[in-house]
Amino acid sequence: MSLVWKLLRRNISAGQLAGYAIANLVGLTIVLTALQFYRDISSALDDEDTFVTKDYLIITKKVSTTGALFGKSTSFSKGEIENIKAQTWTRKVGGFNAAGFNVAASLEMAGRSISTWLFFESVPDDFFDVKPKGWGFDPANPRIPIVISKDYLSLYNFGFAASRGMPQISESMVGMVPLTISLSGNGRQQYFKAKVVGFSSRLNTIAVPESFMQWANSQFADRPIPDPSRLIIEVSSPGDPAVEQYLADRGYEAAGDRLNNGRMAYFLSVMTSIVVAVGVIISLLAFFILILSLYLLLQKNRDKLRDLMLLGYTPRQVAANYRNIVVVVNVAVLVLAAGLMFLGRSYWSGAFEEMDMDLASVWPTVLIGAAIMAAITFGSIYAISRKITRLF
């Protein structure tokens, strides 16, 4: 086969192969770098403490002056909830279910008793950003686990405690404080032990398990349970203009800056898609350059290929020489593109680490690059084999 290779390589154009390699290297580098950057950003977005909330919106109805005066309901009816579920950008919808009874909490510290009125809400467990131990409720062992918003603790530490000269407390300290909860209503009153088991960055409420809320409402509710006045929605793309338009048309409001932050994630995904598409187009053009170059080469070697056939060589044996060229060049392109992707990543990884943003693994991106090059390689080999078979 070495003699065959010496015969066939005479018409191989190094410039054409170099042009293919450079074009494919540029396209694959763009694809891998854009994908890795997006994956690193997405990894940071999965952390609820970062500057963008990725997938969830909490919405309410606007409270107007006339509505407040005339007692207009701000709850979401079942029909309105079903309409939200039917939207293409909606994945899941959950309601903040309120308690139909009175809640009071008390604790004893340094021989002093402190008590206050509270409120409880529950949401489906799927919407929690924390999964604390002991979450759930068993009437046979009535102990209430509570998740509260991190904002409440911040308000105490940096607002109330700072202005009153009181000591600040950490999340672990709050979890160690034993609480006594009084539930009253429907002519009954009962005391429960309770404990704060977690803090949520997503849910701005005092949350208890749904199983407890259903049980407690059945026992203590002395008024009709209202429809939820707040909804939490898992959306496919929170910055999608269709989401903002839908909320504006119906007079709904998104809590905080979640909708504005969602626009950033949506814009990032759109820009990444555009960059990746450009890289894919360049790689496809490079693939066609390679195929065209090989076809021209095979056409030049047409007489030599026929002579080899007469000498007893098979199309597969002849095609192996061109296949080896494609494999070597594509492996080199993949290695260089991965190296350039690592180099590009080093420029933004430092900034991400300074903001305590976790980076995603690079290996899925490398595997995607390998899959792209494998597809190009197999496509090239198939085209070469088919062309040589026709010439034979």
Range among 19-28, 87-96, 123-132, 248-257 rated most confident: 87-96
**Which residue's structure tokens are 């597809």?**
375
H or E element that contains 206: strand 206-207
Is 128 a residue whose pLDDT tops 70?
yes
pLDDT class for 238, splitting at 50, 70, 90?
low
Is 8 a residue whose pLDDT tops 80?
no
Q: Rounded to 5 degrees, what are φ and ψ at 54?
A: -85, -50
Q: What is the pLDDT of residues 48-103, one digit of tens each?
A: 444 344 578 888 888 765 555 555 678 898 999 999 999 988 889 999 998 889 99
Based on its alpha-carbon atoms, the radius of gyration of the chain, rounded to whole angstroms, reads 32
Sign of CA dihedral 329, 330, 331, 332: positive
Residue 350, Cβ density class (10 Å: 0-12 exposed, 13-18 middle, ≥19 buried): exposed
Structure tokens at 323: 């296949």
Q: What is the pLDDT of residues 337-390, one digit of tens each?
A: 999 999 988 887 877 777 666 777 888 889 988 998 898 888 888 887 877 777
Global confidence as pTM: 0.58
Q: How far is CA 308 from CA 33, 83, 153, 304, 373, in A?
A: 45, 71, 82, 6, 31
**Secondary structure of residue 272 in the 3-state scheme:** helix
Residue 145 contacts residue 209 (beta carbons within 8 Å): yes
Q: How far apart are CA 368 and CA 376, in angstroms?
A: 12
**Which residue's structure tokens are 């068993």?**
138
Q: What is the pLDDT of residues 375-392, one digit of tens each?
A: 888 888 888 787 777 766
Q: How far apart are CA 293 and CA 337, in angstroms?
A: 22
pLDDT class for 336, splitting at 50, 70, 90?
very high
Q: How far apart are CA 216 and CA 301, in angstroms?
A: 86
Task: Name, in order, each residue with C-beta under 8 angstroms of 19's C-beta and a sequence gap of 6 or more.
Answer: 289
Q: What is the pLDDT of residues 156-173, one digit of tens each?
A: 788 877 787 777 888 888
Q: For residue 73, give the DSSP letter.
A: -
Q: Can you give the pLDDT at residue 62?
A: 82
Residue 208 contacts residue 128 (beta carbons within 8 Å): no
Is 255 a residue whose pLDDT tops 70?
yes
Q: Can you give the pLDDT at residue 189?
A: 92
Is 246 a residue whose pLDDT tops 80?
yes
Paired strand residues for 181: 105, 192
Q: Rounded to 5 degrees, what are φ and ψ at 105?
A: -125, 145
What is the average pLDDT across 313-336? 81
Q: Specify the amino acid at residue 18.
A: A
Q: What is the pLDDT of residues 170-229, one digit of tens each?
A: 888 888 888 899 999 988 999 999 989 988 888 888 999 999 999 999 999 888 888 898
Q: What is the pLDDT of residues 268-322, one digit of tens each?
A: 777 777 877 877 787 777 777 767 776 666 666 667 666 666 666 666 776 777 7
Q: What is the pLDDT of residues 109-122, one digit of tens each?
A: 656 677 888 889 99
Domain chopping of the chain, boundaries? 2-47+264-391, 98-223
Give the up-direction half-sphere exposure of residue 82: CA atoms within 13 A in the CB hemisphere: 3
**Which residue's structure tokens are 């119906």?**
250
Q: Can you give the pLDDT at residue 51?
A: 38
Q: Decide the pairing of beta strands 188-200 and 143-149.
A: parallel
